[in-house]
Amino acid sequence: MRENNPYIYGAHQLEVKNVILSASTFYVRATSTFYVKVTSTFYVRVTSTFYVRATSTFYVRVTSTFYVRVTSTFYVRATSTFYVRVTSTFYVRVTSTFYVRVTSTFYVRVTSTFYVRVTSTFYVRVTSTFYVRVTSTFYVRVTSTFYVRVTSTFYVRVTSTFYVRVTSTFYVRVTSTFYVRATSTFYVRATPM
């Protein structure tokens, strides 16, 4: 120990600040602030604030507030309030109230009451009572009783009993018993022959 320990100051003044133990299967180093154990398959470092374990396939770090695991294919971070997983193709965050998944092409958020999906071309929101889809050119809302489609030039509403189309120049309503078309200058109502 004398040759390998720089913290021994002379034969009559021993002040051991660093203890090193070794065996054929592991290596241990302990100081007043940390503890390290190294074997052929893993590495462990423990301090008063965190714990690290590394192997050839993953790396783990644990503290009092979070947990991190890193491998060659993904990264995970977990705390008492959320969980995150990141890979080369997507990102996931989970909490007690919602779930989020993000990829290069879309974004998804799920809660107990709704589901949202967003891409570069459209936005979708789904709940237990309705479905909404929004793009750069139109807006659609669907419920159990009606269907609505809105664009920059017209508005359509469809239910089980009637159909309505409204534009800047006319209004149309169609039911099983009559047809109505109205403009700023006239009004037409027709019934089946």
d(CA 71, CA 66): 17
pLDDT above 90: residue 181: yes
Whole-model pTM: value is 0.74
The residue assigned the tokens 């600040």 is 17
pLDDT score at 8 = 31
- Count the Cβ atoms, other than its own, within 10 Å of residue 109: 16
Q: C-alpha dihedral over 183, 184, 186, 189, to 10 degrees?
A: 40
The domains of the chain are located at 1-48, 56-96, 105-143, 145-193
pLDDT score at 192 = 76
The residue assigned the tokens 């180093």 is 29
pLDDT above 50: residue 43: yes
CA nearest 19: which of 33, 130, 156? 33
* Cβ within 8 Å of residue 130, ≥6 positions away: 141, 142, 143
Q: Kind and range of the H or E element at 139?
A: strand 138-143
Average pLDDT (81-102) is 98
pLDDT score at 7 = 32
pLDDT digits (tens, 9 = 90+) for 5-35: 333 333 333 344 566 667 788 889 999 899 9
Average pLDDT (122-137) is 98
- Cβ(63)–Cβ(70) below 8 Å: no
pLDDT above 70: residue 132: yes
pLDDT score at 17 = 58
Residue 70 pLDDT level (bands cut at 50, 70, 90): very high
Q: What are the structure tokens assigned to 89, written together? A: 């193709």
d(CA 92, CA 77): 10
pLDDT score at 10 = 33
